[in-house]
Structure 1
Amino acid sequence: MSPRVVLIGPPGSGKSTVGRLLADRLGAAFRDTDTDVEVVAGKPVGDIFVEDGEERFRELEAAAVRLALAEHDGVLSLGGGAVLAEATRELLAGHPVVYLEVGLSQAVQRVGLASARPLLVLNPRSQLKKLMDARRPIYEGLAAVVVATDERKPDEVVDEIVKGLLP
């Protein structure tokens, strides 16, 4: 069993929104590894970061990705930082990975500067830029298809994924 599509990208790229629409279009199930982590931990991602630390969150995230890649056959959305783990990058080899690319200004609009996202607590715009710059080469290296999401409706992004990735 293997996901039909794996979505990666930074916060605000539209992984959850596009993922749900894509799953509907394909008649497949949608799964988000951040949600899986929250279920296992019994608390929101933000609380895991604050109470248990980023290292613990990354352990839970890596396990969630490993399990989802092994048992999910629909559309899978990974948390923005999941690709930081080398083991996760290795597991993604051979999967249909789509990088949802977003510019800083669009990401800021979508995420919001008053975000509860744990890695964006201090100076969110600057933190988001650093995060995006650092992760971009990883996202690009893993992707079979790169889809720009700036100034586009989610349905337009789904159309491009379907055209670019699926037979």
Structure 2
Amino acid sequence: MGAGKTTVGRLLADALGVGFLDSDHAVEARAGKPVQEIFVDDGEAAFRALERTAVAAALDEHDGVLALGGGAVLDPATRALLEGHRVIFLKVGLADAVKRVGLGAGRPLLLGNVRARVKQLLDERTPVYEGLARITVDTDGRSPQDVAAEITELIEEGAR
């Protein structure tokens, strides 16, 4: 959350000349309502099920960059879907994450003390991200353009 997945993902897709898809947007299209409403109306478990379906479809049908929601990889079935794919972890520290998400408006998992909740989410999720990622890129204090350029370079080096 706040790492720049969507922004960096779009820039990376442009640099690589491929399409871009955000799993949250795919979930919203399938559900016919925003992520926030899904959480409120149906709960997190229902959202995660929709997300898993959207990720599976994207991996089968989309040939480009896929930005995953921050909690997508917490689902073991979603992690299994990602095996064999190039997964990139955009690592963000607490201070930068809090600055980027602001008061957490529109982020259902940030109700209450935003800083404490972001810290809790980072503590819970970072080991999962690190275990799944083939590439980890630190985003703290960096522009999305700089992060996307580094990832592009790493991908191109890996293709040689």
> TM-score per shorter chain, which class?
over 0.9
Q: What residue number does 1:131 align with?
A: 121
Structure 2 portions without partners, runs of 5+? none
- Partner SS, residue 131 of structure 2: helix
- Which residue of 83, 89, 103 maps to 1:99? 89
What residue in structure 1 maps to residue 110 of structure 2? 120
1:43-102 deviations in Å (ceiling 9; x for gaps)? 110111011111110110010111111111111000000001111111111111100000
Q: Shift of the alpha carbon at 1:114?
A: 4.3
Query: TM-score of the superposition, structure 2-length normalised?
Result: 0.95
* Identity between Structure 1 and Structure 2 (%): 59
1:72-111 mapped onto 2 (5 Å cutoff): 72-111=62-101
1:66 aligns with 2:51: no
Q: Are positions 1:15 and 2:5 aligned together?
A: yes
Residue type matched to 2:138 in 1? A
SS in 2 for 1:122: coil
Root-mean-square deviation (Å) = 0.9
- Cα separation, 2, equivalents of 1:82 and 1:49: 14
Q: C-alpha offsets along residues 93-148 of structure 1, whole Å, 9 cap, x if unaligned?
A: 11111000001111111111242200001111111110111000100011110000
User: Which whole-Å CA distance do the structure 1 matches of 2:109 and 2:29 have between them?
Assistant: 20
2:14 maps to 1:24: yes
Structure 1 residues 114 and 135, CA gap change in structure 2 (3 angstroms) = closer
Counterpart Cα distance in 1 of 2:104 and 2:140? 21
Question: Which one has a larger percent helix, Structure 1 or Structure 2?
Answer: 2
Aligned partners of 1:125 and 1:44: how far apart in 2? 24
Tell me the distance in 2 between the aligned counterparts of 1:129 and 1:147: 19
Inter-partner Cα distance in structure 1 for 2:127 and 2:104: 27
Give the structure 1 partner of residue 44 of structure 2: 54
TM superposition score normalised by structure 1: 0.91
- Could you list the structure 1 runs, at least 4 aligned residues long, displaced by more than 3 angstroms after superposition: none
Secondary structure of 1:79's counterpart equals coil
Work out the CA distance in 2 between the residues paired with 1:99 and 1:46: 24
Answer yes or no: is the 8 Å Cα contact 1:19–1:75 preserved in 2.
yes
Contact 1:96 1:165 in 2 (8 A): no
Q: Does 1:154 align with 2:149?
A: no
